[in-house]
């Protein structure tokens, strides 16, 4: 039981009907974005980060595992997809597939190493592994170091959808996000998810019931890493580049920030958190370096005032699960 | 099974031999030979620091012994991981109530039932497949008097009820033997009576080894008592005999217990 998840979690019994209504509302709102005049590039970027934060939340909010290295999945999948698209001229669907597969493999390896330790040691190992990868990517020729992989061709998804058209790209990213979100939702509400939650709640007790908890944590870690990688692969089409920013430790920190601001262990919290943080970066860009300070203030006030995060507090207030 | 005592070799469900745990030169448990008779309520008592909890953690495999063997149903389990031991039907409880706080009472019991029916790596299936465990889970909750709490998150239940929930969860595994670590710790009189009655009732089906501080509970419940002091077995017998034993009195009074 990690101290971070102790009293930050919603206690409300789950009500799937409420959650499905909110999900439908979210899907509809996101679907009409292109007709509202909101900058679609911003929303696409936010969707990628929202999926990333949801994947991270699967691990900490439902498995009690705080990873400080989730940027490695985002960055690795991004680099692999970008390289496959640009150098090997893979079609988009294959590019996404190899990027996501690379993240899955990375999840298997790093997960196998890190879940052997608990609490802060687990977090530190994930941080160390992601730093190791950062320096590897800084030196490896295929990533082009500081320059990153630029000008990635977007191509035609399945030979039909022209991803260079913003509207088409928007709906492809949206479908990708919703699919990833639903997979996470299903995982949380599966027999596997129940075991995962019991491990988060009280690991020694789960062991005493006969669960080999390391195996469950490893599967959760791989799932989370794979979905974070999927978000990274999608992001390549939006940003049309893959750079060191995505594997930097500060990105891992941002993922934690998004999830905490939105609400740890809530279904929709990470989505809200990601939109808040990305919107801040987008619309406060005029303040330059001050964005970091503003982010810091928000983070501190979130931890002090809304320990459950925005969605967590709302859910607590309404006595609903969100 | 041979409760009448025809098969003496089978009679001991759990045996230890020379069980020792050393922490950097300090022997918390030293050369303990324990034999727990099948179907009995066996209590492990002793003054503070006697090594009861260490001994308990060795038996449940949450600590690795420095020396000695543990045999369960004739099988050497000394080197077996704790999850595997649980699967053999030897299930422990914890000193502080071990529930899953943000799960409801029903879900708590269901997690145990789910384990008993195999591994659960199926993240793509809906958890509604677990509903088939609900009737049995309700039955178990009803058994320990928790029917009204079925949909209450465990964190919101009173302390004594959490202990009852913990026992229901353990029973869900249909164990052969239960190891209870201070089942009455931190409870009021009323709760103690309820849990004691519950333990007495379930002991008809299971073997129970418990560590307990409350001597009146021990007196009422246990068939046989092992007294530990300074990591070693001081005496063994029933409560009537032990209460007359000078060494036991001295160990307790010397350590300031009544």
Average pLDDT over chain B reads 85
Give the global pTM: 0.85
Distance CA B209, CA B41 (A): 6
How distant, in Å, are the alpha carbons of A22, A189, A253, A268, A270 from that of A313?
16, 21, 22, 12, 13
Q: What is the DSSP letter of B71?
A: E
CATH topology of domain A2-318: ABC transporter involved in vitamin B12 uptake, BtuC (1.10.3470)
Burial class (CB in 10 A: 0-12, 13-18, 19+), B235: middle
With a cut of 70, say whether residue A49 has pLDDT above it: yes
Question: What is the CB neighbour count within 10 angstroms for residue A28?
Answer: 9
Please give the full DSSP string across A127-170, using - where no structure is assigned: HHHHHHHHHHHHH-GGGTGGG-B------EETTTEETTSHHHHH
- What is the tens place of the pLDDT at every residue in B74-126? 899 999 998 999 899 999 888 776 899 989 999 999 999 999 887 688 888 88
A149 half-sphere exposure, CB direction, 13 A CA radius: 26
- What is the tens place of the pLDDT at every residue in A189-243? 999 999 999 999 999 899 989 999 999 999 999 999 999 999 999 999 999 888 9
Say whether B111 and A206 touch across the interface (CB within 8 A). yes
- What is the tens place of the pLDDT at every residue in B226-250? 998 888 888 888 888 888 888 888 8
Tokens (6 digits) for A260: 């905490």
Q: Which of A201, A207, A209 sits opposite B102 (nearest CB)?
A: A201
Q: Determine which of A205, A219, A316 to mutate to test the interface with B (most B C-beta atoms within 10 Å).
A: A205
- What is the tens place of the pLDDT at every residue in A78-99? 999 999 998 898 899 999 999 9
Nearest CA-CA partner of A67 in A202, A223, A256: A256
Any A CB within 8 A of B100 CB: yes
Nearest CA-CA partner of B169 in A198, A241, A231, A183: A198
ipTM passes above 0.90? no
List, in order, residues 6 or more apart from A249 with CB less than 8 Å away: A68, A69, A71, A127, A130, A131, A134
pLDDT at A8: 54
How distant, in Å, are the alpha carbons of A71, A89, A135, A175 from that of A144?
18, 17, 12, 31
Poorest-confidence range of A272-281, B118-127, B128-137? B118-127
pLDDT at A169: 92
Q: Which of A191, A201, A208 sits opposite B125 (nearest CB)?
A: A191
Can you give the residue ranges of every domain in chain A? 2-318
Distance CA B46, CA B43 (A): 10
Say whether B100 and A211 touch across the interface (CB within 8 A). no
What length is written for chain B? 258
- What is the tens place of the pLDDT at every residue in A132-157? 999 999 998 888 888 888 888 888 78
């Amino acid at each position: 039981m990690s101290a971070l998840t102790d009293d930050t979690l919603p206690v409300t019994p789950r009500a799937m009907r409420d959650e499905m209504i909110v999900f439908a509302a979210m899907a509809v709102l996101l679907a009409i974005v292109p007709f509202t005049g909101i900058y679609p590039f911003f929303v696409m970027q936010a969707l990628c980060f929202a999926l990333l934060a949801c994947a991270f939340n699967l691990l900490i909010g439902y498995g009690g595992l705080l990873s400080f290295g989730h940027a490695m999945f985002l960055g690795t999948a991004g680099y692999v997809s970008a390289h496959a698209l640009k150098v090997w001229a893979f079609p988009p669907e294959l590019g996404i597939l190899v990027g996501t597969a690379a993240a899955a493999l990375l999840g298997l390896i790093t997960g196998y190493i890190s879940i052997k330790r608990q609490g802060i040691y687990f977090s530190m190992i994930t941080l160390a592994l992601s730093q190791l990868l950062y320096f590897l990517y800084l030196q490896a020729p295929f990533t082009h170091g500081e320059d990153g992989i630029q000008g990635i061709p977007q191509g035609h998804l399945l030979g039909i959808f022209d991803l260079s058209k913003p509207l088409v790209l928007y709906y492809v990213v949206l479908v990708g996000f919703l699919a990833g979100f639903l997979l996470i939702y299903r995982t949380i509400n599966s027999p596997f998810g129940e075991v995962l939650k019991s491990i988060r709640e009280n690991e020694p007790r789960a062991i005493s019931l006969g669960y080999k908890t390391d195996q469950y944590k490893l599967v959760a870690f791989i799932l989370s890493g794979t979905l974070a990688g999927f978000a990274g692969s999608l992001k390549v089409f939006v940003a049309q580049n893959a750079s060191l920013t995505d594997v930097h430790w500060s990105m891992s920190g941002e993922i934690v920030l998004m999830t905490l601001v939105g609400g740890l262990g809530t279904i929709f919290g990470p989505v809200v958190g990601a939109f808040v943080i990305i919107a801040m970066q987008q619309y406060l860009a005029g303040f330059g370096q001050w964005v970091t300070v503003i982010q810091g203030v928000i983070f501190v006030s979130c931890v002090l005032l809304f320990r459950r995060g925005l969605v967590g507090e709302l859910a607590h207030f309404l006595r609903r699960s969100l | 099974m041979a409760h009448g005592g025809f098969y003496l070799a089978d009679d001991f469900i759990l045996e230890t031999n020379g069980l020792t745990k050393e922490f950097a030169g300090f022997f918390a448990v030293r050369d303990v030979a324990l034999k727990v008779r099948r179907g009995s309520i066996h209590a492990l008592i002793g003054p503070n620091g006697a090594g009861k909890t260490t001994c308990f953690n060795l038996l449940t495999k949450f600590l690795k012994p420095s020396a000695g063997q543990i045999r369960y149903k004739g099988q050497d389990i000394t080197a077996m991981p704790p999850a595997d031991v649980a699967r053999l039907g030897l299930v422990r409880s914890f000193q502080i109530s071990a529930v899953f706080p943000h799960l409801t009472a029903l879900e708590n019991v269901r997690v145990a039932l789910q384990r008993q029916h195999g591994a659960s790596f199926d993240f793509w299936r809906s958890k509604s497949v677990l509903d088939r465990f609900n009737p049995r889970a309700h039955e178990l909750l009803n058994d320990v008097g928790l029917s009204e709490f079925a949909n209450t998150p465990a964190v919101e239940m009173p302390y004594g009820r959490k202990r009852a929930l913990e026992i229901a969860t353990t029973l869900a595994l249909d164990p052969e033997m239960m190891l209870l670590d201070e089942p009455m710790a931190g409870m009021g009189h009323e709760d103690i009576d309820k849990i004691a009655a519950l333990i007495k009732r379930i002991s008809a089906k299971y073997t129970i080894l418990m560590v307990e501080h409350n001597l009146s509970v021990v007196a009422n419940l246990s068939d046989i008592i092992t007294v530990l002091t300074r990591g070693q077995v001081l005496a063994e017998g029933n409560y009537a005999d032990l209460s007359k034993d000078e060494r036991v009195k001295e160990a307790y009074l010397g350590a300031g217990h009544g």
